[in-house]
Structures are given as structure tokens and as C-alpha cells.
Amino acid sequence: MSTTAPTAQQVPTPETVPVRTRKRKHRRANPWGVVAWIAALGFFFPVFWMVLTAFKQEADAYSDPPKFFFTPTLDQFRAVFDTGVGVSLLNSAFATGVSTILVLLLGVPAAFALSLRPVRKTKDALFFFISTKMLPIVAAIIPLYVIVANIGLLDNIWALIILYTAMNLPIAVWMMRSFFLEVPGELLEAASMDGANLWTSVREVILPLVSPGIAATALICVIFSWNEFFFAVNLTAVQAQTIPVFLVGFITGEGLYWARLSAAATMAALPVVLAGWLAQNKLVRGLSFGAIK
């Protein structure tokens, strides 16, 4: 079977003209592009200032007018480490990591079932998941506190892991479902005709396709868990303290030390930025398939 050369290309197409004008239009400064740049810089500046301040001496941090050029120092980071940030960082990392893994282990199969193998009442199940996010957490904190106290998990990192898993699971199911819905059902059928059982077809065919979705979902879970404050401040004290709680404590304790506070905040923000940067590759690749037509 051979394809003949398409004759359409030999015919001069009228398309060539609009393409050229489109290009020229593109080169002209787009007012929305300028607005976008201003907005982006506006959003980025506080973060930039925080990082900059973290490398200053306290005297430089206080100077008026603000200093852009100074001798950078790691003193502030050393000082933050001396106050015991390490435990909080470890707690946050542990709670974030374990809860994200749990969410993916539970949420990905659930989303698969709710999209590619829909059952009766699929809509109801989906609504149930999202409805758990409708109650304000504040309204639930007292019963939660009582329950956590009764089972003896106060100031225990596992209490946070359970809560973070429950908190992120609905989002993960909904997100993953939308990725699974883009997988053509025929792929599963083709795999089953090729002799693959369910597990093999999921591993060999479906998972490679939805891996960008899994990366995106994991990133969202990491961000939400890492930054979570309300549960952490109410259910932990010293042992299980996470980094947002530590930061707040730091503000009250050392609120006047701008540079040191900036260093602590920078350290708290760094892991999430790193996670986003690592996932970016997968995220950008997106879901351009080529399986269909």
C-alpha cells in the first residue's frame, strides 16, 4: 500500500497571503502583552524582594531608601536553622509526601473507574466528592479536634496526613477524571483485543498517556499540603509542627527581624517552587495524543 504524493501542495494556495499578514500582525507590540508583563512583574516583585532581603544583613534590610546592592550573606539562613526549622521542614515534607502518594494511590484508580469504566450513579459519586469541599473547614474544626484528641493523634503528623489526604482526594479525582476522559475508550478495547488484561492495558497504554495529568495532580496536592495552615495550627503543637505554623510563630517571635523572616519564608517557599519546576516538563508536554485520526 503506498500513498500517492498529495497534489494539493502543487497548487498555489491562497492561504500564503493571509499567513504573511498574520505574521506581521504578530510582530507589532500587543497592548495585552504589555499589560501581561506589567502584571507578571507586579506579582513577582514581592517574591523577588523577599529572596533579596533574605540575603541581607538586618541593617541593610531596614535601610531607607531600600538597597538593591549589598554584600550578600548566608547569616540569616544560619540563624533560622539554629531556631529549629529543620523539624518543621521534615514534618512538612513527610506530611506532604505521604499524603500526596496516598491521594494518587486512591484517586487515580477512582478517577479511572469514574471515567473509562463508568458505573451507575457515577454522577452522584462525583458530586459526593466535590460536596466534601463545600463545608468551610472552620465549621468542622471543633468536631475534628475532638476526634483527633480522642484517638490520641493530637500533635501527631499522621493526623495531618489523614486530613491532607481527605482534603486533596476530591480535587485529585476530578482532575484525573478530566485527563482520563481524554483517553479514547477504543485504546482500552484495542488493548483487550490484543490480549492485554486490565492491569497490563492500564500500565502499558493508559498510564503513559495520563502521566502529565498525574504530574499536574501531584503538584497541586503538594502545593496544597505544603501550604496548609489551618489544620496544622489547630492540631499540632511542637512535635508535629509544619513549616507554615513555624513561620507564623517566627513572625510573632522575631517579627522585627525582616531579613531573618525573609530567609525563613524563602526556605518555606523553595520546595514548592522546586516541585513546580520539576513537574513543568510534564505539564507543558500536555495531552497531545495522535492516537485518534
Partner 1 sequence: MAEITYRNASCLYENSDTLAVDSLNLDIQDGEFVVLVGPSGSGKSTALRMLAGLEDIDEGSISIGGRDMVGVPSKDRDIAMVFQNYALYPNKTVAENMGFALKMRGVGADERRRKVEQAAKLLDLTDYLDRKPAKLSGGQRQRVAMGRAIVREPQVFCMDEPLSNLDAKLRVQTRTQIAALQRRLGTTTVYVTHDQVEAMTMGDRVAVLRGGKLQQFSSPTELYDRPANAFVAGFIGSPAMNLLDARIVDGGVQIGSTVVDVERDRIASLHRAGLETVTVGIRPEQLEITDGDGVETIVELVEELGSESYVYTRVARSDTPLVARSLTRTPARLADTIRLRKREGTVHLFHPATGERVGD
119 binds partner 1 (CB under 8 A): no
193 binds partner 1 (CB under 8 A): yes
290 binds partner 1 (CB under 8 A): yes
Interface pick for partner 1 out of 169, 191, 202, 259 (rule CB under 8 A):
191
Q: Which amino acid is at 96?
A: T
Minimal distance, residue 124 CB to partner 1, in Å: 16
Interface pick for partner 1 out of 136, 208, 252, 284 (rule CB under 8 A):
208
Q: Find the binding residues for partner 1 in span 171-190 (CB under 8 A).
A: 184, 186-187, 189-190
Whole-angstrom distance, CA of residue 149 vs CA of residue 195: 52
Considering only the stretches 100-108, 165-173, 195-203, 267-275, report the one whose residues sit in contact with partner 1 under the rule CB under 8 A.
Answer: 195-203
Name the residue nearer to partner 1 (CB basis): 175 or 188: 188
125 binds partner 1 (CB under 8 A): no
Considering only the stretches 198-206, 231-239, 268-276, 277-285, report the one whose residues sit in contact with partner 1 under the rule CB under 8 A.
Answer: 198-206
Name the residue nearer to partner 1 (CB basis): 1 or 135: 1
Whole-angstrom distance, CA of residue 169 vs CA of residue 163: 10
Three-state SS letters, the chain: CCCCCCHHHCCCCCCHHHHHHHHHHHHCCCHHHHHHHHHHHHHHHHHHHHHHHHCCCHHHHHCCCCCCCCCCCCHHHHHHHHCCHHHHHHHHHHHHHHHHHHHHHHHHHHHHHHHCCCCCCHHHHHHHHHHCCCCCHHHHHHHHHHHHHHCCCCCCHHHHHHHHHHHHHHHHHHHHHHHHHCCCHHHHHHHHHCCCCHHHHHHHHHHHHHHHHHHHHHHHHHHHHHHCCHHHHHHCCCCCCCHHHHHHHHHHHHCCCHHHHHHHHHHHHHHHHHHHHHHHHHHHHCCCCCCCC
293 binds partner 1 (CB under 8 A): yes
Interface pick for partner 1 out of 111, 176, 205, 268 (rule CB under 8 A):
205
209 binds partner 1 (CB under 8 A): yes
The x, y and z cell numbers of residue 107, run together, are 484517586
195 binds partner 1 (CB under 8 A): yes
Which residues, including other chains, have CB under 8 Å from residue 113's CB and lie 6 or more apart? 119
Contact code string over 4-43 relative to partner 1, x by CB under 8 A:
x---------------------------------------
289 binds partner 1 (CB under 8 A): yes
124 binds partner 1 (CB under 8 A): no
97 binds partner 1 (CB under 8 A): no
Minimal distance, residue 93 CB to partner 1, in Å: 32
291 binds partner 1 (CB under 8 A): yes
202 binds partner 1 (CB under 8 A): no
Is 106 exposed, middle or buried, given 0-12, 13-18 or 19+ CB atoms closer than 10 A? middle
Whole-angstrom distance, CA of residue 86 vs CA of residue 20: 58
Minimal distance, residue 177 CB to partner 1, in Å: 20
288 binds partner 1 (CB under 8 A): yes
- Count, residues near partner 1 per rule CB under 8 A: 27
The binding site for partner 1 (CB under 8 A) comprises 1-4, 184, 186-187, 189-197, 200, 204-205, 208-209, 288-293
